[in-house]
Amino acid sequence: MAIPRSDPLKEKEVQVEQYGARSIRVVKSVEGAAVETHDLSEHTGSAASIGAAGAVHSHVPVPDILVSDTQIANADVLTLRATQVELIAAPGAGLALIVHRVYIVVDDTAGAYTETTDDLAVEYADGVNITNTIDATPLVGGGVQRTTIPALATQVVPDVNAAVQMDQTGGGEWGGGNAANTMSVRVWYSVVPAAAFS
């Protein structure tokens, strides 16, 4: 079925900014907006492929994969073991979050972080790990360091209506740092009905 350039289903980017006391979270999604009711004659194609011309309908597209960007300020990085940082808010009753991949960029150019087996993990709010333990050693030491982490290879039953957060799993907090340092975390995820996936 051919769709004209002016088709109302064309995807658009939606950006919602959420500002915390020190850290910033930006949620982006390639998301279709609800389309006003319109006539099938506005589409091109045969009657067999789109139905009888004149049939009135509307569209409410649902995005498959969302992206959440969170920039964690230096003060929050240095207290991450005691106070986890939310990356994705709880999706609501009857829904669950499935994380596909995580990308972390640590910029400690202004003052190197230090750590000893104080690794990271992305987890649900109740502490169930979504990723394997993330080795912190390559992420500290001065400069800009990057790492990509897949979700766990083993099956994880998604928590129902639970937020996703960054945790520091070691025996103590990271040391060093500088007020100009940041940890940026991008998460690719989906929102699914809990009854089907939990």
Where is average pLDDT lowest: 130-144, 150-164, 172-186? 150-164
Dihedral sign (CA 99, 162, 119, 133)? negative
Reply yes or no on whether the pLDDT at 98 is more than 80.
yes
The model's pLDDT over 1-11, given as tens digits with 9 standing for 90+, comes to 444 444 444 44
pLDDT for the residue numbered 69: 95
The phi and psi torsions of 110 (rounded to 5 degrees) equal -75, -20
Mean pLDDT of the chain: 79
pTM value surpassing 0.75:
no
Contact criterion met (CB below 8 Å) for 194 and 87: no
Reply yes or no on whether the pLDDT at 19 is more than 80.
no
The phi and psi torsions of 196 (rounded to 5 degrees) equal -90, -25
Distance separating alpha carbons of residues 45 and 192, to the nearest angstrom? 32
Distance separating alpha carbons of residues 142 and 78, to the nearest angstrom? 15
**Tokens matching residue 16:** 């919602």
Of the pLDDT bands very low, low, confident and very high (cuts 50, 70, 90), residue 166 is very high
pLDDT for the residue numbered 155: 78
Beta bridge partners of 38: 57
pLDDT for the residue numbered 117: 87
Reply yes or no on whether the pLDDT at 165 is more than 50.
yes
The model's pLDDT over 117-147, given as tens digits with 9 standing for 90+, comes to 889 999 999 999 999 999 999 999 999 999 9
